[in-house]
Amino acid sequence: MNTSAYLKAVVDQTRVFADWVDGRDATAPVPTCPKWTLADLVDHVAATQRMVAMLVGERMSQPDEAFARYVPAPADSAEWRAWLTGSAAAAERAFESVSDDTPVWDPSGAEAGVPFWSRRLFGEISVHRADAAATVGATYELEPGPAAEAIQDWLETLTSRGYWENRPDFADALRGTGQTLHFHASDAGAAWLARRERDGIVLERTGGEADVTLSGPADQLLLVLSRRGSLETASGLEVRGDRAMLDLWIEHMDWVTD
């Protein structure tokens, strides 16, 4: 997917998200994010999209100003649909005003800029739509191709240099001596190999032998890796190899819910 395709998907998924939460109980707990209410979830999704719209649209080299201009989502859930769709539309307009090589700050440590943020917004709404589904009792669906793209975003973000350096708990837990984890989205023809090294995690878009392999449908794989579903309740996933290593990995995939 390219930048425009990511943003179109962000708009489409946000519209579904907005329909699900419109008029709902703002205090409802989010089962997949135990520290959040539905109001927190809505605020996070919209605030992230609006912050990224500012970063990209104004070509910011530092995030401080965007953070300082945070505006909370409306307290009245009857206003959430318009707020959310407006946030996604603002993000889409911002990306239409730049090219992929426009300098923009991002937290990855790789100066990935515009491409980083377009994929990150897509990954964000793909995962948080699952949170909304779990809260309101809706059915979560994501086609294999987009689900694989969301997995790519999740894994690349959490194995980035910036994440490693800013989350010492993650680095301490996942530091290794070459141990490998293989993730295979069987219905999307996509695979990833994560190798735990002393100074970081090396992620490759490939398959192969590994200490532990988790394979199955892309949407189920996404939900388990993002801690929105469990291995015990997931449909069609298979674990081969060192289950304890996989459990350790998933245990520390707590970036969003922290």
Cα separation values, 38 from 59, 111, 155, 177, Å:
31, 33, 26, 41
Between CA 101 and CA 120 the distance in angstroms is 16
Nearest to 214 by CA among 222, 188, 200: 222
Both tokens assigned to 73: 């989502």
> Is residue 110's pLDDT more than 80?
no
For residue range 138-157, what is the model confidence (pLDDT) as tens digits? 999 999 999 999 999 999 99
Q: Determine the Cα–Cα distance for residues 196 and 224; give it in Å rounded to an integer.
A: 19
Where residue 226 falls among pLDDT bands split at 50, 70, 90? very high
CA 124 to chain centre: 4
In percent, the amount of the chain with pLDDT more than 90 equals 88
Which residue from 154, 136, 135, 137 is spatially nearest to 219, judged by alpha carbons? 154
CA distance 223 to 88: 23
Asked if residue 127 has pLDDT above 90, the reply is: yes
- Regarding pTM above 0.85, the answer is yes
The average pLDDT across 179-190 equals 97
pLDDT for residue 253 is more than 90? no
Q: Model confidence over 58-77: pLDDT tens digits?
A: 999 999 999 999 999 999 99
Predicted local distance difference test score (pLDDT) of residue 78: 98
Domains of the chain: 3-141 (1.20.120), 145-251 (3.30.1050.10)
pLDDT at 255: 62
Task: Look at residue 26 and tell me whether its pLDDT is greater than 80.
Answer: yes
